[in-house]
Every structure is written in structure tokens, then in C-alpha cells.
């Protein structure tokens, strides 16, 4: 019992030194605090709209997590979303049916991602520089395709269906699709050789290559996947707001990256979980929505996002340092009050 009492505080602090746990705790605190302080927060209607806001962010964050774990980045995702929306609107104006347009738009997103992948994986250029360039290029192409026009005459069956709630609830049905995708990405990352290869690439790309991992090919297909999912998010965005515009999703890349890093994914690669990312997206979007509901100015929301982005880079490193310090202290507790009912473990004992 003495061992248990001595080790219990260390175990509690070690648990809260885990960044995923900290994000979940912060999310719970934000929900409880906003429910008390912000009028209208704890309503089913508010949560229905909040979940609709979460869908495109989390959708793009899923493949972005895989990219960042390998030590790369994709800042063009919001521009891919905007270009996909613009092309969707233009093709609708030409008279093509939506069941044909939607797969074409997703295919376009995959091709845009392949361009990123070609320059990064094929030519060895830095992903930050490449995707900053394609961020501007793809957004410019969106304006070339649609200009300043807005296409808003989509059938109500499609626009209403995108936001239709599950029967008897205010939860949009698309959340179920997102949940299935999140589980699929989690299994891919945490329970398959592909996921282990992604972590290996993020920890040491050269060692991963020597161990037989096709680094360039894997990186290329990650960008293809990210582009396709960003285009799918563009389809949802267009249907939700019933408007195809070239500026749809402008600035969304900052929110996605902030959410991924806030979820504990290391910007240097090799560390992070899908559970943490989901919690990070929910924390960021819940906080922003609560502040909007409290009539906080938009400029302040940008400051909050930037602050959380900095916190997401500094926080996990601080949590890792805390865990390491607690591990170093943990062997001292059994030595201070040895148990009479069992022999003292030799693991970690001085002089063993």
C-alpha cells in the first residue's frame, strides 16, 4: 500500500503529461465553462451548427495528420477546396448533372495533390515552399474558372441533404460518414505497416529508406490523398452553403494546421495520434464557436487561433519533458518505503 500511495501522484501527473489527455481535459473545461458563461451554447441547435463547422476541418485534418507525421506539410488544401468549388459551379453551369460532377471534382483534387507530390517526392523540393506556391496558384486558378461570380442554383435535394440531421436529433448525418473515415484513418496509422512506415519516415527518413520503405512513392500518394479529400471537403462546403465561389475556404489551411498541431502531432514528424487530432479539432472549433456566440470580434478569433498554434508547438515538448522528469523520479519511491510483503524489484534499483 505504501508503494501505491507513493506512486499514485506520479502516475496521475504522468497521465496529465500526455498531450492527448491534456487536450481532452481542455476540451471538457471549455465545454463546461462556455455552457455556464455563454448564453445559447448548451443548446442542440448550436451543437448541430458546430458539428457542421467541424466536418470540413476534420475531414482535411485526417490526411494532413499523415503528411505532418512524415515531417512534411501541405498549405494548399484550402486553395484545393476553393478550386474544387469553383470547378463544381462552372460544370453545373454547363449543364452536367451533379452525380457526374462530384467524382470529377474529387479526381481534380487528386490531380492537384499529385502536382504537389511530383515536386516534393519526385524533384525533392521542400514541401513548405511547394505548397505555398500552389496555395497561390490554385486559388488564382479558381478565380480564372469562376471569377467573382457565385453559383447558387443547386437542387435543394443536394444542398438540404448535405446538412440534414439524423432522425430525431440535430446531429448531421454526414458526421457518421466522417466518423467512419476517422476510424479508417486511425486503423491505417496505428495498426498497419503503412502507419509504422509513416512514423519511421518522420523520425529518420534515411533510416526508413534503408529499411525498405518506399519514401518517395509513399509521400507522393499522401499528397494525392490529401488533394482528393480537400476536394471532397470543397464539395461539402459548396453544398452546405449552397454557393460555389472561388474564395470558398480562404484561410482554412491555418485552422487545419493549428488543429493538427494542437492535437499533439509534432511539426518535425514522427509523433502524433488520430485521437489527439480529433480532440484538437473539437477543442479549436468549440472555442472559436463559443467566442463567436459571445460576439467576440473576428480579429480576436484570429489571435486565439495563432496563440493556440504556438501553444500546440510548445505544449507537447513541455509535456514530454514533464513525463521524462517523472520517469526519472519514479524509481525513488519504492526505495524510500520498501515493502515487507514482497521482495524489492531489482529493475531500476541502484547497484542491481
Per-residue model confidence as pLDDT tens digits over 98-116? 999 999 999 999 999 999 9
Residue with cell 509521400: 219
> To the nearest 10°, the Cα dihedral for 60, 66, 67, 72?
140
pLDDT digits (tens, 9 = 90+) for 15-32: 444 788 889 999 999 999
Query: How many C-alpha atoms does 104 have within 13 Å on its Cβ side?
Result: 14
**What pLDDT does residue 352 have?**
36
pTM of the model: 0.86
Mean predicted confidence (pLDDT) in 54-75: 97
pLDDT value of position 331: 58
**What are the distances in angstroms from CA 177 to CA 14, 56, 168, 181, 231?**
35, 12, 18, 6, 16
Contact by Cβ (8 Å): 226, 77: yes
Q: Which 3 state secondary structure label does DSSP give 172?
A: strand
Strands (E), 119-260: none
In DSSP terms, 265 is beta-bridged to none
Provide the pLDDT confidence category of residue 334 given band limits of 50, 70 and 90: low
For residue range 260-273, list pLDDT tens digits in order. Answer: 999 989 989 999 99
Report the percent of the chain where pLDDT is more than 90. 72
Q: What angle do CA 126, 281, 103 make, to 5 degrees?
A: 70
Q: Where are the alpha helices (DSSP H) in 118-171?
A: 127-146, 156-162
Query: Which backbone phi and psi does 184 adopt, to 5 degrees?
Result: -60, -45
Please give the residue that has the higher pLDDT: either 312 or 38.
Answer: 38
Position 305 scores a pLDDT of 77
Residue 344 pLDDT level (bands cut at 50, 70, 90)? very low
- Which are the contacts of 208, defined by CB distance < 8 A and separation ≥ 6? 197, 200, 201, 215
pLDDT at 339: 46
Residue 347 scores a pLDDT above 80 = no
Mean pLDDT (whole number) for 121-135: 97
What pLDDT does residue 332 have? 53
How many whole angstroms separate alpha carbon 244 and alpha carbon 246?
Answer: 7
Region 63-73: mean pLDDT is 97
In angstroms, the CA 237 to CA 344 distance is: 61
Rounded-to-integer distance, Cα 280 and Cα 261, Å: 8
Which run of H or of E encompasses 253? Answer: helix 252-262
Higher pLDDT pick, 114 / 308: 114
pLDDT value, residue 283:
93
Euclidean distance between CA atoms 318 and 190, whole angstroms: 24
**For residue 76, how many other CB atoms are within 10 A of its CB?**
29
SS3 content of the chain, % helix, strand, coil (to 5): 75, 0, 25
pLDDT confidence bin for 301, thresholds 50/70/90: confident
Burial of 286 by CB count in 10 Å (0-12 exposed, 13-18 middle, 19+ buried)?
buried
Residue pair 227/273 in contact (Cβ under 8 Å)? The answer is no
Return the pLDDT at 27.
93
Q: Counting every residue, how long is the chain?
A: 352
Whether 191 shows a pLDDT value over 90: the answer reads: yes
Average pLDDT, the chain: 88
Alpha carbons 171 and 150: distance in angstroms, whole number: 28
Residues 6+ apart with CB under 8 A from 315: 19, 22
Amino acid at each position: 500500500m505504501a508503494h501505491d500511495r507513493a506512486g499514485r501522484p506520479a502516475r496521475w501527473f504522468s497521465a496529465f503529461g500526455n498531450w492527448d489527455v491534456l487536450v481532452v481535459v481542455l476540451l471538457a473545461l471549455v465545454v463546461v465553462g462556455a455552457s455556464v458563461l455563454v448564453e445559447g451554447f448548451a443548446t442542440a441547435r448550436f451543437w448541430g451548427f458546430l458539428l457542421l463547422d467541424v466536418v470540413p476541418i476534420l475531414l482535411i485534418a485526417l490526411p494532413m495528420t499523415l503528411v505532418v507525421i512524415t515531417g512534411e506539410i501541405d498549405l494548399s488544401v484550402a486553395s484545393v477546396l476553393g478550386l474544387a468549388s469553383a470547378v463544381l459551379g462552372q460544370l453545373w453551369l454547363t449543364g452536367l448533372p451533379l452525380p457526374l460532377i462530384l467524382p470529377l471534382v474529387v479526381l481534380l483534387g487528386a490531380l492537384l495533390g499529385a502536382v504537389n507530390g511530383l515536386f516534393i517526392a519526385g524533384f525533392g523540393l521542400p514541401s513548405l515552399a511547394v505548397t505555398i506556391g500552389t496555395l497561390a496558384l490554385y486559388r488564382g486558378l479558381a478565380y480564372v474558372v469562376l471569377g467573382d461570380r457565385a453559383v447558387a442554383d443547386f437542387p435543394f435535394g443536394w444542398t438540404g441533404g448535405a446538412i440534414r440531421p439524423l432522425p430525431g436529433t440535430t446531429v448531421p448525418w454526414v458526421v457518421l460518414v466522417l466518423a467512419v473515415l476517422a476510424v479508417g484513418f486511425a486503423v491505417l496509422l496505428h495498426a498497419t505497416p503503412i502507419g509504422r512506415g509513416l512514423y519511421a519516415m518522420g523520425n529518420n527518413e534515411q533510416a526508413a529508406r534503408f529499411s525498405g520503405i518506399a519514401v518517395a512513392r509513399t509521400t507522393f500518394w499522401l499528397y494525392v490523398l490529401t488533394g482528393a479529400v480537400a476536394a471532397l471537403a470543397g464539395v461539402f462546403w459548396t453544398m452546405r452553403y449552397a454557393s460555389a465561389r472561388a474564395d470558398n475556404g480562404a484561410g482554412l489551411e491555418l485552422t487545419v494546421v493549428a488543429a493538427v498541431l494542437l492535437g499533439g502531432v509534432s511539426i518535425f514528424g514522427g509523433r502524433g495520434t488520430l485521437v489527439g487530432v480529433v480532440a484538437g479539432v473539437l477543442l479549436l472549433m468549440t472555442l472559436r464557436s463559443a467566442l463567436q456566440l459571445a460576439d467576440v470580434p473576428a480579429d480576436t478569433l484570429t489571435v486565439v487561433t495563432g496563440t493556440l498554434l504556438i501553444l500546440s508547438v510548445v505544449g507537447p515538448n513541455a509535456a514530454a519533458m514533464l513525463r521524462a522528469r517523472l520517469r526519472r523520479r519514479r524509481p525513488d519511491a519504492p526505495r524510500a518505503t520498501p515493502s515487507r510483503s514482497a521482495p524489492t524489484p531489482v529493475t531500476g534499483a541502484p547497484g542491481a
